[in-house]
Amino acid sequence: MMGQQKYPYSLPPLAYAYDALEPYVDAETMHFHHDKHFQTYVNNLNGLLEKREDLHQMTLSELLKADLSGDAVQAIRNNGGGVYNHGFFFESMSAAAQDEHTPKGKLAEKIDVAFGSFEEFKALFEKQALSVFGSGWTFLVLTEKDELEIVNVKNQDTVLPMSHRPILCVDVWEHAYYLKYQNLRVEYLKNIWNVLRFPVL
């Protein structure tokens, strides 16, 4: 898990081939998104932390939850968030059989309790993701009360300072979908369900 890495951070390899999510996420986007955008955040974070030896023993999750002081705090949060969010996003997708793309067991039960049904959850998640103005992320999280919520964050903010446990997330920055879908975020969101992986709680 990306959140458990410590400095120096490294780009985790994809758990599937670049073209494995076709036709919903195209291979060109996967190369560009993972190898360029994600790698840039990793490189930037390592550069920012090179002389911050006081932060080298923190995991990425600890770093993003900490009350930091000193040099380049906002840049560390921005790039650290970019590393964490991208890592979680790529882990939230799978090329496995279709049964991974629907919630099971305890998670399915919690979705029904919180949202009424899986279809109602998907509709609300898409609506929330469409409401992100500009760049950001939409997460499904478990709160400290063990309840499911859909949460938007801007830019490269994370849900970690909110003490939420992330379940899955969708990147709604344009670079996540523009090569295939152009400005049609709504089409990207409708198709992403075919590759999202629902974990077992």
> Domain for residue 162, yes or no?
yes
> Domain for residue 32, yes or no?
yes
- Cα 27 to chain centroid distance, Å, stands at 19
Spatial separation of the C-alpha atoms in residues 53 and 30, rounded to whole Å: 33
- Looking at residue 71, its pLDDT comes to 77
Structural domain span for residue 168: 25-201
> Domain for residue 16, yes or no?
no
CB within 8 Å of 137: residues ≥ 6 apart = 85, 89, 152, 153, 157, 169, 170, 171, 172, 173
Predicted structure pTM score: 0.95
- Looking at residue 101, its pLDDT comes to 87
- Looking at residue 97, its pLDDT comes to 60
> Domain for residue 19, yes or no?
no
**Number of domains composing the chain:** 1
> Domain for residue 13, yes or no?
no
- Looking at residue 70, its pLDDT comes to 79
CATH of the domain at 83: 3.55.40.20
Judge whether 167 and 115 are in contact, CB under 8 Å: no
- Looking at residue 143, its pLDDT comes to 96
Q: Is 184 helix (H, G, I), strand (E, B) or coil?
A: coil
> Domain for residue 155, yes or no?
yes
pLDDT means per 10 residues in the chain (201 residues)? 93 95 96 98 98 95 92 93 98 80 95 98 98 97 96 97 94 97 97 94 90
> Domain for residue 39, yes or no?
yes
> Domain for residue 93, yes or no?
yes
- Looking at residue 98, its pLDDT comes to 61
- Looking at residue 49, its pLDDT comes to 97
DSSP 82-141: HHHHHHHHHHTB--S-GGGGS--HHHHHHHHHHHSSHHHHHHHHHHHHHT--SSEEEEEE
Nearest Cα to Cα of residue 166 among 154, 155, 151, 156: 151
